[in-house]
Chains A and B, each alone.
Chain A
Amino acid sequence: MTSTGRARGFIAIALLPALLLFLFFVIVPIFWSAYYGFFDWKGIGSAKFIGFGNYAEVIHDPVFWRSFKNNMLIVAASVFGQVPIALVLALLLLRNAWIHKFIRTSVFMPMVLSSVVVGIIWGYIYHPEIGILNFLLDRLGLASWKRQWLSDPSVSMYSLMVPIIWNYIGPYLILFLAALQNIPSEMDDAAKIDGAQGSRKLFSITLPLIWDTIKVAVVLCISGSLKAFDLIYIMTGGGPAHSTELLASYMYNNTFSIYRFGYGSAVSTTIILISLVLIAGSQYLMKRDNR
């Protein structure tokens, strides 16, 4: 009893510095920001308390809902794009031949590039004048497929999904590889003896064993997509005319381009609520009986 008590005390002390930093820089600002959301404040001068005015405006703001819709597209693209692709790649690349290592490294590559670099690279790929994508379509005789990839609102969100998926497959691939390698080889042997093979083995043994990892990946994916900002900011800035605005870029523009700090804070608080709901929802849907 005393020894566990001492261990607990030690754990508490060891955790304290990190916990304090986390509290101070992450938790406290969340409440702070929610509080600023109650004010009409330009960032300079005095702030005026206006109750739920900003929050009411958020709910009635068509641009906010447009950003929300765009952001849901990004969430969907990430959850149904990044996670399955990463999972399939992980299953294929489990072995350690040099070719597998090579592909793993290449898939992980974009992750070590700064997102500004990624944004600029893809900006050039989609460039209306010198873009390589339109150039290739031309050469392949598909000139009718050419588009203004980033400024035509009917395709721009989809154009933006490609680099976002491409950019973030890497970490999920690593996550899944680690999980797969953790499956004890006895399981494989047992499966072999029982005659489980191919898809049967995949769905009855492999996937259930890494299900927790998939859950974590989905949570990371949803939260990552809801704070997506950098690539969009570099490539379109949320434009033209808010057509590629996301929640985070909308919050940023309100706060730092037109200096409505109070309203921007209300938007960011709303983003928190939305992502909590989404993450809770996804966890509920993926719940499996652990009987």
Chain B
Amino acid sequence: MKKKTGALAALTLSASLALAGCGSGGKESGNANANNGQGDGKEKVTLSLWHNYTGDDQRAKTMRAIVEQYQKDHPNVELDIQAIPPDGYRTRLKTVAAANEMPDLFVMWPGVMTKEFQAGDLIQPINELLDSKTEWKNNFLPGSFDGFTIGSDIYSAPIALSPTSILYYNKSILDANGLQVPKTWDDLLKAVEVLKSKKITPIALGNKAAWLAQSSIFSSLADRVTGTEWFLKAASNDGAKFTDPEFVKALTYLQDLQKAGAFQDGFNALDNTQMEQYFAQGKAAMMIDGGWALTNLAATASQDAMSQMGAAVLPSIPGGKGDPNTLSGVVGTGLGMGKKVSGAKKQAAYDLLYAMAGPDAQKRVLESNQLVSYKVDLDKSKVTPIFAEVYALVNSVNRTPVYDGVLSSAVADEVNNGLQDLLMGGKPETIAKKIQDAQDKSTQSDKK
């Protein structure tokens, strides 16, 4: 029995350990096998590509079509494609990164991820490609490359723009209750009160995955209260702390909104998609969500429902230090290139990168109801009306940082959990303290 016990215990834990060990399902990136003597005289090249365009939304379909087209046009390039659903994508990528087995080209996030990969010496800059096509490079919106730039090296070009905190509203519900789109915090609280008295959910929220309240509501709300400068200081531990009164005040605002009954019951048990459906079905008057909602709405909501939707920025906060006419947002993902890519393979990779992020691709992506960080004239007949409205909105306001785009993963995780706690009635001061503790720990371990 004793032996059995030991073995059983070992078995039990093997599962937890196996998690740490496996998951590197990525194939060893094929080396450029110099297989000369093919009919076209070109060198045969194998290129591995990892992406997360697996969904049924229009953007994903467009990207897959672009890759297929590339494959047809380049018979000498053999693509080894791993399409990984978005939820698991980051984890898979991080796992191969830990094993130093990066794919040749892969969807990569700006900011923290780019920095980490660069620090791990896993990626190479694409300045050469950008400089050879200056017209393309210059057509990106200002600040597009910031998150992908380290020193003078640029590591990717974005294929998306993600404003994270758009206030979507249902025109007919607001009209029916004699309400305007809230411009100030008081307007918002009043709208909540009116809607609640009529048993209509004021704001749809799905915060099960915990990042939504942070990314969509809090990043903008806190910026309104504290100003961008304060946040960047606090994030770099430079003369501001998350225990400062302005941050606690920002937390209190969010909690007040919840206490006023702005969100439907069980918001911590719904996910982002369910929240979008809830709003699209006309069950809530408003929803605070990112630009990513547009592709989902275009794919699932009815024409009728979409014609009722409008978009605005979050209301202003009285006495707030931030510019109220802003949206928090990040430049979206681009393609990163693994360090080991070279020679003929590198040329093929550049071609594919340009095919997927070049002017044509940017236009097609925009027409798939996905915002891009690139100057394109939008043909409104090709997109949904709500998309056109958001497009106009995004181009008329400034962009402020998103919390998890700036903070390290550990601190962002603490903010996420802290906000869930806050929305369940946790004390703002305690939560602020925990966030600052995580921040201290994170900067400490960076310095060591």
Query: A interface vs B, CB < 8 Å?
Result: 25-27, 29-30, 32-33, 36, 40, 42-45, 48, 126-129, 148-151, 153, 212, 215-216, 219-220, 223-224, 226-227, 229, 236-237, 239-242, 248, 251-253, 255-261, 264-265, 268, 271-272, 275-276, 279-280, 283
Q: A27-B10, A268-B17, A275-B13 are in contact. List 15 more A-B contacts (CB 8 A).
A: A40-B445, A40-B448, A128-B269, A129-B278, A148-B265, A151-B268, A219-B4, A219-B5, A229-B16, A240-B210, A251-B16, A256-B91, A260-B410, A264-B20, A271-B13
Q: Which among B11, B20, B116, B421 has the greatest number of chain A C-beta atoms within 10 A?
A: B20
The A-contacting residues of B in range 429-448, CB under 8 angstroms, are 445, 448
Q: Is A223 touching B19 in the complex (CB atoms < 8 A)?
A: no
Please measure, in the bound complex, the distance between the C-alpha atom of A237 and the C-alpha atom of B19, giving whole angstroms: 16
Contacts of B412 in A (CB 8 A): 258
- Assess whether B18 is in contact with A29, with CB atoms less than 8 Å apart: yes
Please provide the 3 A-B residue pairs with the shortest distance between their CB atoms, ordered closest to farther.
A128-B266, A223-B12, A151-B268
Give B8-29 as 1s and 0s: 1 = Cβ < 8 Å from A's Cβ atoms: 1111111111111100000000
Q: How many Å from the CB of A97 to the closest CB on chain B?
A: 35
Quick one: CB contact mask for B413-426 with A, threshold 8 Å, 1 for yes? 10001101101101
Residues on the A chain within 8 Å of B207, using CB: 240
In whole Å, how far is A239's beta carbon from the nearest beta carbon of chain B? 6
Question: Does B97 interact with chain A (Cβ within 8 Å)?
Answer: yes
Q: Give bound CA distance, A220 to B12, whole Å.
A: 9
Q: Which of B68-76, B117-125, B152-160 contacts A (4 or more CB under 8 A)?
A: B117-125
Residues of B within 8 Å of A240, CB to CB, are 207-208, 210, 268, 420-421, 423-424
B94→A44 contact, CB < 8 A: yes
Contacts of A271 in B (CB 8 A): 13, 16
Q: Is the CB of B269 within 8 A of A220?
A: no
State which residues 100-125 of B face A: CB under 8 Å.
116-117, 119-120, 122
In this assembly, does B267 line the interface, its C-beta being within 8 Å of a C-beta of chain A?
yes
With A129-B278, A227-B13, A257-B413: A283-B97 Cβ-Cβ less than 8 Å: no
**Shortest Cβ distance from A9 into chain B, in angstroms?**
20
CA distance A44 to B426 in the complex (A): 34
- Bound CA span A49–B95, Å: 21
Whether the Cβ atoms of B448 and A129 lie closer than 8 Å is no
CB distance from B128 to the nearest CB of A (A): 25
CB <8 Å contact, A44 and B97:
yes
B9 touches A279 (CB 8 A): yes
Contact (Cβ within 8 A) B266 A272: no
Label chain A's interface by main secondary structure. Answer: helix
Asked if B448 contacts A239 (CB within 8 A), the reply is no
Is B421 within 8 A of A44, CB to CB?
Answer: no
Closest to B112 in A: A259
Q: Is B264 on the interface with A (CB-CB < 8 A)? A: yes
CB atoms of A258 and B410 under 8 A apart: yes
Interface residue ranges of B248-281 to A (CB < 8 Å)? 264-270, 278
Contact between A44 and B98, CB atoms less than 8 A apart: yes
Is the beta-carbon distance between B8 and A252 smaller than 8 angstroms?
A: no
Main secondary structure of the interface of B (DSSP, over half): helix
Asked if B97 and A239 make an inter-chain contact with CB atoms under 8 angstroms apart, the answer reads no
Whether B269 contacts A126 by the Cβ 8 Å rule is: yes
For A264, what are the chain B residues with a Cβ–Cβ distance below 8 Å?
20
Cα distance A265–B13 in the bound complex, in angstroms = 12
Show 21 A/B contacts (Cβ-Cβ < 8 Å), sorted by A: A25-B21, A29-B17, A40-B448, A43-B97, A44-B116, A45-B120, A128-B269, A129-B278, A149-B269, A150-B266, A216-B4, A219-B4, A223-B8, A237-B209, A239-B417, A257-B409, A257-B413, A258-B410, A259-B94, A264-B20, A272-B13
Cβ–Cβ contact A237 & B208, under 8 A:
yes
Partner of B12 from the list A44, A126, A150, A226 (CB cut-off 8 Å) is A226
For residue A257, which residue of chain B has the nearest CB?
Answer: B413
Complex Cα gap A283–B4 (Å): 11
In the complex, how many angstroms separate the beta carbon of B294 from the nearest chain A beta carbon?
A: 23
Do A215 and B8 touch (CB < 8 A)? no
Q: How far is the CA of A260 from the CA of B210 in the complex (A)?
A: 19
The answer to whether A280 and B13 touch across the interface, beta carbons within 8 angstroms, is no
B1 at the interface (CB under 8 A from A): yes
Q: Kindly list chain B residues whose C-beta atoms are within 8 Å of the C-beta of A242.
A: 417
Partner of A275, one of B9, B267, B418, B420: B9
With contacts A241-B426, A275-B9 taken as known, whether A236 is within 8 angstroms of B208 at the C-beta atoms is: yes
Verify B120–A44 contact, CB threshold 8 A. yes
Taking CB atoms, residues of chain A closer than 8 Å to B13 are 30, 227, 268, 271-272, 275
Question: How distant is B208 from chain A, measured CB to nearest CB, in Å?
Answer: 7
Q: How far is the CB of B401 from chain A (nearest CB, A)?
A: 19
In whole angstroms, what is the CA distance A215 to B116 when docked? 49
Residues of B within 8 A of A227 (CB): 12-13, 15-16
Chain B hits for A45, CB < 8 A = 116, 119-120
The residues of A that contact B16 with a CB separation of less than 8 Å are 227, 229, 248, 251, 268, 271
With CB as the reference atom, state the residue of chain A lying closest to B207. A240
Contact of A30 among B14, B122, B267 (CB under 8 A): B14
**B10 x A241 contact (CB < 8 A):** no
For the complex, give the distance between the alpha carbons of A268 and B21 in Å.
12
Q: Closest Cβ of chain B: how far from A79's Cβ, in Å?
A: 14
B420 near A239: Cβ-Cβ < 8 Å = yes
How close is B411's CB to chain A, nearest CB, in angstroms?
9
Q: Contacts A126-B269, A255-B20 given: A224-B12 contact, CB under 8 Å? A: yes
Asked if B208 and A148 make an inter-chain contact with CB atoms under 8 angstroms apart, the answer reads no
Q: Which residue of A lies closest to B413 (CB)?
A: A258
**With a CB–CB cut-off of 8 A, which chain A residues contact B418?**
241
Distance between B34 CB and nearest chain A CB, rounded to angstroms: 31
Shortest CB distance A70–B (Å): 15
A149 neighbours in B (Cβ, 8 Å): 269
CB B153 to nearest CB in A, in angstroms, measures: 17
A contact residues around B9 at 8 Å (CB): 223, 272, 275-276, 279
Most chain B CB within 10 A, of A26, A45, A236, A259, is at A259
Cβ of A255 and Cβ of B421 under 8 Å apart?
no
Q: Which residues of A contact B117 (CB under 8 A)?
A: 44
Complex Cα distance, B12 from A227, in Å, reads: 6
**When the two chains form their complex, are residues A129 and B264 in contact, meaning their CB atoms are under 8 A apart?**
yes
Q: B10 to chain A: which residues have CB within 8 Å?
A: 26-27, 30
Say yes or no: A30 contacts B409, CB within 8 Å.
Answer: no
A43 to B396, CA, bound (A): 40
Contacts of B14 in A (CB 8 A): 25-26, 29-30
Q: Which residues of A contact B264 (CB under 8 A)?
A: 128-129
